[in-house]
Amino acid sequence: MSRLVVFTLLAVLPAGGVAQRGDWPMPAKDYAATRYSSLSEITGANAGRLRPVWSFSTGVLGGHEGQPLVVDNTMYVVTPYPNVLYAFDLTREGYPLKWKYRPPVDPNALGIACCDAINRGAFYADGKIVYNLLDGHTVAVAAATGKELWKTRIAELSQGETTPVAPLVVKHRVIVGASGGEFGIHGWLKGLDLETGRIEWTAYNIGPDSEVRANGGTFKPFYDRGAELALTSWPADVWKNGGAPVWGWMSYDSSLDLLYYGTGNPAPYNPEQRAGDNKWTASVLARRPEDGTLVWAYQFTPHDSWDYDAAAEMILADLVVNGRPRKVLVHFDKNGFAYTMDRATGEVLVAQPFVDVNWATRVDVATGRPVVDSTKLTGASRGNIKDVCPSLEGGKSPASPAAYSPRTGLFYLATNNMCMDYQATQATRIAATPFIGANTPYHAGRGGNLGAFIAWDAAAGKKVWQTPERYPVWSGALVTAGDIAFYGTLDGWFKAADARTGKVLWRFKVGSGVVGNPITYTSSDGKQYVAVYAGIGGDWFLLSGDVRSDDPADVRPPADFMPDIARHTSQGGIVWIFAL
């Protein structure tokens, strides 16, 4: 074994695990959240010959967000509620199941989850598959046998908390969070012990410094000064139901020992009920995974008036910015700006719009604050604010994570070209019911196409190419050393594109709209495979109107901004595997 191979193996080895180079052991493949694979069998010269080699119906109709894992010739698939975990044997013909795990999950979670009963996937560490059940539990299951090793209640349905987020495991800590920005939760992050499941620490995203774990000596945000920022940026007691959920993706830099994650929207959507910046909603937070200590934080959208969650992934890369090599974090926010930040300090280096944006004219990197167009500020007393871009689905959804190729130096992502009208209303919090206070119909942005797949230069803050799509694009991205970028569309096409030009080289109709994230791996036969879920859902369970066919007592009109989506897709979960 060459030294290079040894180095590569070490680089992708999860804590205590046995993952190999061709495995996909965690949601974004690596701790830097790149969704990049060094596999290169599939190239521009042969991608046109990709073909399906296997498929499996999960038996579940909910939105199939997230992605499979592949470790040691086994594929692990978590379904949406009721959160079945399947383990497929990739060494045998037809990939039969080795086992399946069917946990009990409280069906009441279906009424507490804001936006379909989705799950964003599992994490492999130390021979365990760790993931969250929708009803507020984290479980660890033995990867070899499917035996439940521990189960810990981490969240409270009665307070509006549900748990579709994928955990991140750093050494012996399992990091988890909860959804509920639409239910007025008091958002938090927790660290569990990998061996026992015991909750070792809880760090709130809003509230007093003691609960936020912002200690005077160690908490050093780049732009903000002073103590109790997550308390004084709120009216008294309002922060207790102020949101800041954790439902996106996490990343980790081992040399800095910093864990990065984004927080969701402040609650309610009517901003007049929560004067102030509302820290740390719509923010990125950098913490020590061992004990949750907050090291820095930055708020992308102060006093968010448009439901611009910052739950999207923070991709870690080394880029040359303004002539200087920098260790950066790259984040594509719902608010339409792409941020390139110094990940050691939280300084914003570049912030440019990657879609049409009109709620702010620019981000002032000297102050870190967006320059807001006051005519786009919302509130119950301000009436119906017309044509805000992007819509609250985001310029890019946090549900559809981007990919980064160190070969091209580019980021690849699914984007939405939608704007909205925003009528805020007074909201009343009733525990475990929605706490929203806004009506926000959407319309297509400039050009009429509802989405696009794009390549982005994060050092320059510029779009390099884009492929317009008829519908919003809601899948994650994958990019490989063969310089192929993969993504799926809402009308059910799975596509392979040239990573340098964007040219679509191959596509296949996968049976339902794609809201999941493609992965690639090698099996024991040495071949390169690509896997993805089909199964429209998530927000599109709410917004697509008539793509549901399972309930004779629930018939909906077509979505007004994309009335023919149901012509191309219905719900239904399928795992697909492709190869040359």
Partner 1 sequence: MPPAGSAPALENPFHGDRQSAVEGERTFGAMNCDGCHGGGAVGWVGPSLRDGRWRYGGSDGEIFQSIFYGQPHGMPAYGGLLPAGAIWKVVTYLQLLEPPANVPTQSWK
Q: Is residue 399 a contact residue for partner 1 (CB under 8 A)?
A: no
Q: How far apart are CA 472 and CA 467, in angstroms?
A: 12
Q: Is 356 known to be catalytic?
A: no
Q: Cβ distance 33 to 558 under 8 Å?
A: no
The catalytically annotated residue of 23, 161, 253, 307 is: 307
List, in order, residues 6 or more apart from 119 with CB less than 8 Å away.
Answer: 65, 66, 78, 79, 80, 81, 83, 131, 132, 134, 164, 166
Q: Is residue 554 a contact residue for partner 1 (CB under 8 A)?
A: yes
Q: Is residue 546 a contact residue for partner 1 (CB under 8 A)?
A: yes
23, 65, 182, 483: which one binds partner 1 (CB under 8 A) = 182
Min dist. Cβ of residue 107 to partner 1 (A):
5
Q: Is residue 113 a contact residue for partner 1 (CB under 8 A)?
A: yes
Give the residue with the Cβ less far from partner 1, 310 or 432: 432
112, 203, 357, 530: which one binds partner 1 (CB under 8 A) = 112
430, 446, 503, 524: which one binds partner 1 (CB under 8 A) = 430
Q: Is residue 109 a contact residue for partner 1 (CB under 8 A)?
A: yes
Q: Is residue 135 a contact residue for partner 1 (CB under 8 A)?
A: no
Give the residue with the Cβ less far from partner 1, 50 or 114: 114
Q: Is residue 161 a contact residue for partner 1 (CB under 8 A)?
A: no
Q: How far apart are CA 329 and CA 262, in angstroms?
A: 12
Min dist. Cβ of residue 540 to partner 1 (A):
12
Q: Is residue 267 a contact residue for partner 1 (CB under 8 A)?
A: no
Q: Which stretch binds partner 1 (CB under 8 A): 4-12, 102-110, 148-156, 186-194?
A: 102-110
346, 395, 434, 516: which one binds partner 1 (CB under 8 A) = 434
Q: Is 560 known to be catalytic?
A: no
DSSP string, 111-154: GTSBTBS-----EEETTEEEEEETTTEEEEEETTT--EEEEEE-
Q: Is 182 known to be catalytic?
A: yes
Q: How far apart are the two ends of the chain, measured CA to CA in Å?
A: 27
Q: Which of 489, 442, 496 is nearest to 469 (CA)?
A: 489
Give the residue with the Cβ less far from partner 1, 346 or 535: 535
The catalytically annotated residue of 83, 119, 132, 265 is: 265
Q: Cβ distance 183 to 265 under 8 Å?
A: no
Q: What SS3 class is residue 3?
A: helix
Q: Which stretch binds partner 1 (CB under 8 A): 212-220, 242-250, 432-440, 501-509?
A: 432-440
Q: Is residue 552 a contact residue for partner 1 (CB under 8 A)?
A: yes
Q: How far apart are CA 502 and CA 167, in angstroms?
A: 32
Q: Cβ distance 85 to 131 under 8 Å?
A: yes
Q: How far apart are CA 264 and CA 266, in angstroms?
A: 7
- What is the token pair recorded at 298? 């930055």
- What is the token pair recorded at 559? 């979505």
Q: Is residue 321 a contact residue for partner 1 (CB under 8 A)?
A: no
List, in order, residues 6 or more apart from 466 with CB less than 8 Å away.
Answer: 415, 452, 453, 454, 455, 502
The catalytically annotated residue of 65, 135, 161, 182 is: 182
Give the residue with the Cβ less far from partner 1, 108 or 501: 108
Min dist. Cβ of residue 187 to partner 1 (A):
18
108, 358, 466, 501: which one binds partner 1 (CB under 8 A) = 108
Q: Is residue 564 a contact residue for partner 1 (CB under 8 A)?
A: yes
295, 432, 530, 575: which one binds partner 1 (CB under 8 A) = 432
Q: Is residue 107 a contact residue for partner 1 (CB under 8 A)?
A: yes
- Cα dist. 87→35, 104, 574 in Å? 22, 18, 15
List, in order, residues 6 or more apart from 448 with CB less than 8 Å away.
Answer: none
Q: Which stretch binds partner 1 (CB under 8 A): 4-12, 286-294, 425-433, 458-466?
A: 425-433
Q: Cβ distance 181 to 243 under 8 Å?
A: yes
Binding-site ranges for partner 1 (CB under 8 A): 107-116, 182, 425, 427-428, 430, 432-436, 439, 541-542, 545-546, 551-557, 564, 566-567
**Residues forming the active site:** 182, 265, 307
